[in-house]
Chains A and B, each alone.
Chain A
């Protein structure tokens, strides 16, 4: 019989060794705490410090929330925030909807299920830079193959998708959903396969059709998983940088600018470090607040359902 590591194990640890030696446990933490403190925690606080300071005549001065006020008054920054939210919600909805549909299709124990699972997850592990570059080439208004194929379906679909400010962000979103739906699929499929088979049998005996079983047996059981995948995809979407950077660079104009590309441009093209840091801090706060609010809403629903 094996037993998990429990708190009682600490007592065993004390018994060890003939003479009371110094504990070796601190050694287990040194590298992890040191490296994360230097490269993650320090930068986090430094970003906050940069965001509440500014330079006046070469001197750093405390400016409070001025940078954030400037951000709120900046048309491009507001556009970038809206675009980031549209991108995050849109790609989360898209990947979860498609991923769930694919998971249900594969879960029917069809032939080649393993092959489809393998192929549909494959894009998830490929670099977004690769996907973005090939799609951008295919969407070239002059010689792209996407327009040629879509034009066969309807001439109006042969459209300069990335060059039109109305459709640039949407196109990048579509490519993102195409690449990452496989992630949602894998997670939902795992949940579906955890649904006990006898539940389905019992429902079938009670005269439930396949559709009934999908709605009343399967869906409630995978609901929690879908809620979590949506949140993960939303967070990933809100962090988006690679696809936008290689496909549109935030353009045409600033029509597809998202927060991370805007921060990048402000900091590393225009050297506006304080302003860019405010943008980065605002983005992070926004992501955390929205994620927590989403979880709170979901938890309260769960409680009200149970109660």
Chain B
């Protein structure tokens, strides 16, 4: 009876389950720990990091969001992140999608070369641009400007958006475009009125993946956003390290508040995000 059913359990299957459960727990441990710690006070975080709170301290979140004598208000970082992301995505995606479309519609040696140019830019390690970008932004008097960094991010978004959208537009049905031409529509009209409305799925995937990239970006923001009230979320959070840690509860609450939007976006659009990253991998 039970001997038979036990024998039918294959060792590989058991091993697979152990791996899945263990990896899920270990890789998501920081999320659980941050959630737990965000409801506790500093003393109990230090004394009993894994224990449940005596009382859930939601005040940690209000202190993190509004700031205190210890910390900058998180809403300042969050609004800087929103400004930088909005500019980078608006400029980067519209520029990239237009260029990707033009590259797909006009296939010649020149546009193949242009495509190669954008692929090369994707491969460029950001570290090589850091120092000149700092000097450039400094010379323009735009250090500590979330708007300026948004424009710079757009330059990082454009190559990816161009290459991915070109790959998508190459298989866009030509019949629709021909029909619009017969009706006398110009290229700009065709692009804006017909092609874009039919490509929102592909655009969405590119937007989501790039939003995640910008929301998480640390290096450039650290270099270009010096004034405390100009920092984006990753830079603001990175300051916690080595800082006086007398309000750990609020720090963990700030960490939780930073990742909640990403988790929500990921929860809503998981398929598009994973598909976008998968396609991005084979550009």
Contacts and interface: CB of A to CB of B under 8 A. Distances in A.
Given A284-B124, A287-B125, A28 B101 contact: yes
List of 7 A-B pairs having minimum Cβ-Cβ separation, nearest first: A105-B16, A28-B102, A2-B173, A39-B155, A134-B30, A43-B132, A46-B132
A264 B134 CA distance: 11
Interface stretch (A53-61, A70-78, A241-249, A297-305): A241-249
Interface string A100-129: 011011101010000011111111111111
A101 B12 contact: no
17 contacts: A28-B191, A29-B98, A35-B155, A38-B155, A110-B17, A118-B270, A125-B262, A125-B266, A126-B259, A133-B238, A134-B255, A143-B45, A148-B50, A239-B127, A242-B216, A247-B241, A259-B127
Given A129-B237, A148-B49, A98 B23 contact: yes
A210 to B, nearest CB: 7
Interface residues of A, number: 108
B58 interface: no
Interface string B175-187: 1011001000011
B1 interface: no
Given A13-B187, A287-B125, A178 B26 contact: yes
Interface in B99-149: 99, 101-102, 104-108, 114, 118, 121, 123-136
A32 B19 contact: no
Contacts of B104: 5
Given A32-B98, A43-B132, A228 B127 contact: no
Given A249-B242, A277-B132, 5 more contacts: A2-B174, A2-B175, A39-B156, A47-B132, A143-B46
A130 B259 contact: yes
B132 A25 contact: no
Interface stretch (A165-173, A179-187, A195-203): A179-187
Interface of A: 1-7, 9-10, 12-13, 15-17, 24-25, 27-29, 31-33, 35-36, 38-44, 46-47, 50, 98, 101-102, 104-106, 108, 110, 116-131, 133-138, 142-145, 148-149, 178-179, 181-183, 186-187, 190, 210-211, 228-229, 232, 235, 238-239, 241-242, 245-247, 249, 259-260, 263-264, 267-268, 273, 276-277, 280-281, 283-284, 287-288, 291
Nearest to A178: B27
Interface string B206-237: 00000010011011001100000000011001
A244 B27 CA distance: 18
Task: Tell me whether chain A's interface is mostly helix, strand or loop, or mixed.
Answer: helix
B169 interface: yes
Contact of B175 (A3, A183, A245, A260): A3
B28 interface: yes
Interface of B: 10, 12-13, 15-17, 19-20, 23-24, 26-31, 33-34, 37, 45-47, 49-50, 91-92, 94-96, 98-99, 101-102, 104-108, 114, 118, 121, 123-136, 151-152, 154-156, 158-159, 162, 169-175, 177-178, 181, 186-188, 191, 212, 215-216, 218-219, 222-223, 233-234, 237-238, 240-242, 248, 255, 258-259, 262-263, 266, 270, 273-274, 277-278, 281-282
A206 B12 CA distance: 21
B278 A190 contact: yes
Nearest to B24: A119
Most chain B C-beta atoms within 10 Å of own C-beta, residue among A44, A137, A138, A144 = A137
A249 B159 CA distance: 31
A149 B131 CA distance: 42
Most chain B C-beta atoms within 10 Å of own C-beta, residue among A27, A134, A246 = A134
A125 B259 CA distance: 9
B128 A43 contact: yes
Contact of B49 (A32, A138, A228, A280): A138
